[in-house]
């Protein structure tokens, strides 16, 4: 069985501070990990995927297979980063996503 | 314009009523999904489809049913709504594949309240 855990329901930081949203997973094979984001009154959308090794809106995430983690990081938070962030895992079946519980990020001015 | 549409966006209905939540996509995707999401909570997959005439139940047991008669259309039906069905329902679609092709596109959601 695959499982995704986001230990923090709410993370509040000041503008300009570093941000790290935690994500841990359990999966016996080689997973594909994703971060999805939902801004206020907008749809859930893909932020980044580990396989692309990309930086989107200043966010990066590294897959650590030893620690089974995929934490999302940004060195300097902006107010427009305030949103709900979901970590998701796709396993051997491909496309099927298991979502974590989500973390609400609030960036204060 | 390629998009995913969900109607209605909001629905308040009485217990025992039959309801159908509509989901249509013009993305040309084969795979479609229904998720249930309570406020501030994780998304749970309740149904998915690999293509026409293909439907499967997801991880979360649901009393709803789905059909896939046309590629672009994936409606969800509740025969007899109950207050426990109150939730947000998200429809999504994707192309088959993994890696860089593995992305689900979400609709705006239907917020259902059963009184």
The pLDDT value given to residue A53: 79
Among B54-63, B65-74, B84-93, whose mean pLDDT is lowest?
B54-63
Q: Do B96 and A94 touch (CB under 8 A)?
A: yes
Q: Do B94 and A90 touch (CB under 8 A)?
A: no
- Per the prediction, chain A carries an average pLDDT of 92
Residue, of B98 and A44, whose pLDDT is higher:
A44
Would you call B101 exposed, middle or buried from its count of C-beta atoms within 10 A (0-12, 13-18, 19+)?
Answer: exposed
Q: Do B108 and A43 touch (CB under 8 A)?
A: yes
Taking the Cβ of residue B2 and every Cβ of chain A, the question of whether any pair is shorter than 8 Å is answered with no
Taking the Cβ of residue B39 and every Cβ of chain A, the question of whether any pair is shorter than 8 Å is answered with no
Predicted confidence (pLDDT) per residue in B4-52, tens digit = 999 999 999 999 999 999 999 998 899 999 999 987 778 899 999 999 9
- Whether the bond between A87 and the residue before it is cis, its omega within 30 degrees of 0, is no
Which residue, among A102, A106, A55, has the nearest Cα to A81 in the 3D structure? A106
The pLDDT value given to residue B36: 94
**CA within 13 Å, CB half, A77:** 21
Taking the Cβ of residue B71 and every Cβ of chain A, the question of whether any pair is shorter than 8 Å is answered with no
Q: Which strands, in side-by-side order, build the sheet including A72-74?
A: A19-21, A72-74, A60-61
* % residues pLDDT > 70 (chain B): 95
Taking the Cβ of residue A9 and every Cβ of chain B, the question of whether any pair is shorter than 8 Å is answered with yes
Find the closest chain B residue to A37 by CA distance: B106
Calculate mean pLDDT across residues A72-97: 89
Find the closest chain B residue to A54 by CA distance: B100
A81 pLDDT higher than 90: yes
pLDDT band at A61 (very low <50, low <70, confident <90, very high): very high
**Three-state DSSP class for residue A23:** coil
The pLDDT value given to residue A92: 64
Predicted confidence (pLDDT) per residue in A8-55, tens digit = 999 999 999 999 999 999 988 888 899 999 999 899 999 998 877 788
Where helices occur in chain B by DSSP H, the ranges are none
H or E, element range at A107: strand A103-108
- Per the prediction, chain B carries an average pLDDT of 91
The pLDDT value given to residue A51: 78
The pLDDT value given to residue B97: 65
Taking the Cβ of residue A94 and every Cβ of chain B, the question of whether any pair is shorter than 8 Å is answered with yes
Q: Do A95 and B96 touch (CB under 8 A)?
A: yes
* % residues pLDDT > 90 (chain A): 72
The pLDDT value given to residue A45: 95
pLDDT band at B95 (very low <50, low <70, confident <90, very high): confident
The pLDDT value given to residue B101: 65
Our CA angle for A17, A18, A20, nearest 5°, is 140
């Amino acid at each position: 069985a695959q499982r995704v855990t986001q230990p923090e329901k709410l993370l509040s930081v000041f503008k300009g501070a570093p941000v790290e949203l935690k994500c841990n997973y359990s999966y016996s094979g080689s997973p594909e990990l994703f971060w999805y984001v939902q801004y206020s009154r907008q749809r859930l959308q893909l932020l980044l995927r580990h396989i692309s090794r990309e930086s989107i809106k200043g966010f990066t995430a590294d897959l650590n297979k030893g620690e089974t983690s995929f934490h999302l990081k940004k060195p300097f938070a902006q107010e427009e980063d305030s949103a709900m962030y979901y970590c998701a895992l796709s396993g051997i079946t491909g496309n099927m996503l298991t979502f974590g519980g989500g973390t609400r990020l609030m960036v204060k001015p | 314009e390629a998009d995913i549409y969900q109607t209605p966006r909001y629905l308040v209905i009485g217990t025992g009523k039959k309801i159908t939540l509509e989901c249509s996509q013009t993305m040309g995707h084969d795979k479609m999904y229904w998720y249930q999401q309570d406020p501030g909570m994780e998304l749970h997959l309740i149904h998915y489809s690999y293509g026409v005439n293909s439907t499967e139940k997801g991880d979360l047991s649901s009393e709803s049913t789905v059909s896939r008669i046309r590629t672009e259309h994936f409606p969800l039906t509740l025969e007899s709504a109950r207050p426990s069905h109150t939730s947000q329902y998200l429809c999504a679609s994707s192309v088959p594949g993994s890696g860089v092709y593995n992305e689900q596109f979400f609709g705006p959601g239907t917020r259902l309240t059963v009184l």
